[in-house]
Amino acid sequence: MRTNSFFGQVLADAEPNKKLKQQNTAKSSKVFSVQTIPAACAAKPTIVCPDCSANHPLRKCERFKSKPVQQRWIFVEKQKLCFSCLGSKHTRNICRCSQKCKHCNKPHHALLHTDEMTASTIRAKQNHCDGASQTVASVKSFALKPNAGVRLMVAPVRVFNDDGSRFVDTYCFLDNGSQVNICSQRLTDKLHANGANVTQKITGIPGSREINSPLVSLRVKGLKESATFSLSEVSVMKDLPDISSSIPRDSQLRSYEQLHGLHFPEVSESCIDLLIGAGAVQVHSVVDARVGSRRSQPTAFKTGVGWVLMGPDELMPPNKECYLCLSCCDNGRLNDKMQQLFEQDFCEKAANIELPLSVEDKLFLSKVGGSVTELNGHYQIALPWRQERVTLPNNRVVAERRLVYLKRKFERDAEFFAQYKDKINELLRNGFTRKVPSGWKPD
């Protein structure tokens, strides 16, 4: 042992430090052995099918293959699987599988392919599954076949005039995008229906326009129905859009299984003479429906005027024109009521208000009224604000300075002097000015 005389600390011998170094050296010199296991003896990862829990991938699952394509999409979406390889624990964005659909060459598995699904639908589903931050408005969007038309709800009806003395069999169009009822002038001529003319503003998708047409009252019923519906304030137009291609006919619809047992009466003239808007709720009310097995088949609805068809029809030729039957009417009655209200509360027009004349107004009227004279068949008045006697200031000094300046300029420029002299002589000849007599002095 030895001590530090300055700090009073006890210092240990150096021999224990040597022993500690020897122990550390012994520990660091130990040899570790690693035992390797052959690859054949290693345990393989177990693949569990997310659908049937069997030992195979989802793409080989017969239970998954037997499901309809739409149910496969829903299952993959709920399980948060990859749309490209149907694997788990990753998304399509980081999928190492570069294989695409063999049917459409789109970035999804072949088991998820369908002819009726558009590319926008696939992208919407994939973005939703990948956890994209954007909001997808619709995850199901189906495209019609290029050769399929679209049927509108047209029904054969019997239309009566207001007193029921006359009727006409025609076709009506149930337009739930319209706020008004409209009929053709041909229909009112046959029914002898009359009404008061009203200026109306019809607004639709293309724009708005004002028409002056009568408003008539009609009654309507389906050809094979017993219920009759009253339609008041029906606007009369010259013609309605030609949508006769949507008229249902039994000969064209026999191949649809969902339409078996239904009969669509036909009218001799294939004309749409009546448009029934959404205001006639009882006519539009649906009590039964029949849906086809494919999305390219029309759906039948039982309404107040009978069975109607709506939707895509694969047997119908494609529509050459597009009809946007959306209209609302403003006949100005609300505006008239508001105008009457404002005239009652703010009746400035009826008030007889006479403001007093100002001093300037009285002076003006006195000068003008006392100076009116007739001269050569015309009337003339004096200038209202003209001063009778004008006193000009004494500007002799200014005039003499200007004269000296002009004299110097005349001496420098002979041409300017000649032009100036000619102009003065012209004023003298016309009598616009005169020479000052010699010896003249101002008053």
**What is the residue-wise DSSP string for 262-294?**
------SS--EEEEE-TT-HHHH---EEE--SS
Going by the DSSP 8-state scheme, the letter that residue 391 receives in this structure is -
Residue 349: its pLDDT value, please? 54
Shortest CA distance to 91 belongs to which of 101, 80, 100, 99? Answer: 80
Going by the DSSP 8-state scheme, the letter that residue 365 receives in this structure is H
Shortest CA distance to 171 belongs to which of 147, 153, 150? Answer: 153
- Alpha carbon dihedral 395, 401, 405, 408, in 10-degree steps, equals 130
User: What's the CA gap between 367 and 362, in Å, rounded?
Assistant: 9
Residue 401: its pLDDT value, please? 92
- Domain ranges across the chain: 59-129, 149-330
Shortest CA distance to 274 belongs to which of 202, 204, 195, 175? Answer: 175
Cross-strand partners of 439: none
Residue 112: its pLDDT value, please? 84
Strands (E), 266-407: 272-276, 288-290, 299-303, 306-313, 327-330, 373-375, 378-380
Q: Which helix (H) or strand (E) holds 208?
A: strand 208-222
User: What's the CA gap between 100 and 104, in Å, rounded?
Assistant: 8
Whether residue 271 contacts residue 244, with contact meaning beta carbons closer than 8 Å, is answered with yes
Residue 430: its pLDDT value, please? 92
Residue 168: its pLDDT value, please? 92
Shortest CA distance to 162 belongs to which of 238, 211, 233? Answer: 233
DSSP string, 45-103: PPP--TTT--SS-GGG-HHHHTS-HHHHHHHHHHHT--TTT--SSS-GGG-------TT
Per-residue pLDDT of the chain (443 residues; tens, 9 = 90+): 454 544 444 444 444 454 444 555 444 444 444 444 444 444 455 788 888 888 888 888 988 888 888 888 888 888 888 888 888 878 777 787 877 888 888 878 888 887 644 444 444 444 444 443 333 333 333 334 445 688 889 999 999 998 888 999 999 999 888 888 999 989 999 998 888 888 777 776 666 777 788 889 999 999 989 899 999 889 888 878 788 888 888 877 777 888 888 888 888 888 889 999 888 888 998 888 888 877 788 888 999 999 999 888 887 777 665 555 555 555 555 566 667 666 666 555 555 556 788 888 888 888 888 888 888 888 888 887 777 777 878 888 898 999 999 999 999 999 999 999 999 999 999 999 988 888 877 66
From the centroid of its chain, how far is CA 157?
A: 35
Read off φ and ψ for residue 335, nearest 5 degrees. -65, -40
User: What's the CA gap between 393 and 400, in Å, rounded?
Assistant: 15
Q: Rounded to a whole number, what is the largest CA-CA distance in the chain?
A: 150
* Residues 109, 114, 115, 119, CA torsion sign: negative
Residue 309, SS3?
strand
Tokens read off for 241 = 């859009």
CB atoms inside a 10 Å sphere around CB 129: 19
Cross-strand partners of 214: 197
Read off φ and ψ for residue 201, nearest 5 degrees. -110, 110
Q: Which amino acid is at 219?
A: R
> Tokens 């004008």 identify what position?
390
Shortest CA distance to 233 belongs to which of 218, 216, 221? Answer: 216
In angstroms and rounded to an integer, the radius of gyration of the C-alpha atoms of the chain is 50
Whether residue 278 contacts residue 182, with contact meaning beta carbons closer than 8 Å, is answered with no
Shortest CA distance to 245 belongs to which of 273, 272, 274? Answer: 272
User: What's the CA gap between 49 and 58, in Å, rounded?
Assistant: 5
How many residues would you count in the chain? 443
Read off φ and ψ for residue 216, nearest 5 degrees. -120, 165
- pTM of the predicted structure, to 2 decimals: 0.44
Q: How far apart are the first and last CA of the chain?
A: 143
Question: How far are the Cα atoms of 335, 337, 354, 356 from residue 347, in angstroms, in the given order?
Answer: 17, 15, 16, 21
Residue 341: its pLDDT value, please? 67
Q: Which CATH architecture has domain 149-330?
A: Beta Barrel (2.40)
